[in-house]
Each structure stands twice: as structure tokens, then as C-alpha cells.
Chain A
């Protein structure tokens, strides 16, 4: 468990929770990234504006962190181009079909004690754990 980073993980989580709370308190919206992004890609009326601003804020926050630290944020990619495309398609299609991702279901939905979000979060967590087990321990490699 030498990779465990409890302090930054908790701090980051508190920031994410604060951001989701501000989104609901001030704007009455759910900070679910897949829903927000899809609303930028396929605009639905004036809602595209706040979604775009949220995305620009998110990118600015990530950029500010790298600039303040004066170094790129660690990024260790797990798969090559082929599997990256497959994964991206599955994440994009799956989050739309399932009405949310880790943020919308995992952070916001669970906080509202939504049965749908509880089911979705449990499902994608378990399936992702099984997927990693199959790729790392049964197929024995992640390069593609």
C-alpha cells in the first residue's frame, strides 16, 4: 500500500464535495461531469452556457494546479491507442445510457440517497474492478 496518499486524497475529495455543493446551492444543478459535457457537445438551449463555464472552470483549476506547482501533474497512462479508443467509446456511451458517472451518481446522487445512483455506483465499481482483474491478472498485460 505504499502508493496510498490519504491526505491529498481526502483534501481533493473535500474540494470536489465543496464544488458539487456550490453548484447545487448557487445554480441548482447537479455537478455530474458526463451530463455537463454532453450538454456542451449537444447543446440544449441556454443550459449550454453554464455547462461550458463549468468545463472551462474545471480545466482552469487543473491548469492552475500545474502552474502553481511548476510541474506537470503526474500522468501514467495504462493502455495504448487501440484500447484508449475502446475505453473512451464505452465511457461516453455508457455514462449517457446510465445517466451519469462517478461524479453525478457517486458524489451527488449518493448524497441525495438516490436508489438509482446507489445501484449505478455499485455496478460500475464492481465491473471496473472485474475488468482490471481480467486485464492485469488473467490476460497478464495492459499494452495495446
Chain B
């Protein structure tokens, strides 16, 4: 492998590491924290706002600066989403995701981070989530 490939691979691993660390430090890998935020009529826990806020505090200015470059450090171009229109698939997908997120308090990142607990219900959630992704792949892609 070339040096560039090695550096690219190392940096993406480090990015994943920081992401996983952020998820557990923030408490978001615990569904009770997430549902505590979503339960606005109960004993409300606003922590999730600060997690998203903290993330955006970095990404809003940093993405702006990064995207001024003609290309990333280790690739020839930026791979950005190309779809622009707000369509029914986007909204329907967000609705289904929102229901599932509300039921279990897990979205994909935190569920992956919680995998290290080896809790059977986390494994079950991840298996079902992968099942849902495969269902979409074979039915609609």
C-alpha cells in the first residue's frame, strides 16, 4: 500500500475513534439519556441539545473552511451528497427513523458504540437495524 493510502486509512480510523469516544463521553450511547431528551413532557434532560450544539460548533465553521480547499488531503475530490430536492422519500424515511428512535432510544451511531457492552438487546437491535437496511436494499435499490 502507498503511504497516502496508509495515512488515509489511519486518519479514517482515528476519526471513527474520536466519533465513538464522543458518543460514549456525551452519554448518547445510553438510550435513557436520549429518551430523557425526547420526553419533553417528563423529567426533561436537555443534554442532547448540547451534544448536537457542540458538534455543530465545530462542523459549521470547520466544514466551511475545509470545503474551500480544492480537494481533501488524501483523496482527489470531496464525496458530497448530490440530491438537493426535499422529496417524499426523505420525509417518509425520517418519519420511520423517528418512530424507531423514539421507541428504543437508539440511532445507528450510539447503537454501534453500545455494542461493546455485548448486551443481547443491543445485539438484537443492531441485527434488526441491519435487517432493515437490507430490506431497503433488496426492495428499493
Q: For the complex, would chain B's binding face be called helix, strand, loop or mixed by DSSP majority? A: helix
Q: How many residues of B contact A (CB 8 A)?
A: 117
Closest to A97 in B: B93
Min C-beta distance of A135 to chain B, whole Å: 7
Residues of A participating in the B interface, judged by any CB pair closer than 8 Å: 1-6, 8-31, 33-34, 37-38, 41-42, 49-50, 53-66, 72-81, 83-99, 101-103, 105-112, 114-116, 119-121, 123-133, 135-137
Q: Can you list 30 contacts pairing A with B, beta carbon distance less than 8 Å?
A: A1-B46, A4-B45, A6-B50, A9-B54, A10-B50, A10-B53, A12-B21, A13-B57, A14-B54, A16-B18, A17-B58, A19-B15, A19-B22, A20-B55, A28-B75, A28-B79, A37-B108, A37-B130, A62-B112, A64-B21, A75-B117, A84-B104, A87-B101, A94-B99, A96-B140, A98-B94, A99-B83, A112-B63, A119-B94, A124-B94
Please name the 7 residue pairs, one residue from A and one from B, whose CB atoms are nearest each other, closest first: A13-B54, A98-B93, A12-B26, A57-B16, A92-B132, A88-B128, A131-B102
Q: A-contacting residues of B (Cβ < 8 Å)?
A: 7-9, 11-33, 35-36, 38-60, 62-64, 66-67, 69, 71-75, 77-81, 83-86, 89-109, 111-117, 119, 121-122, 124-137, 140
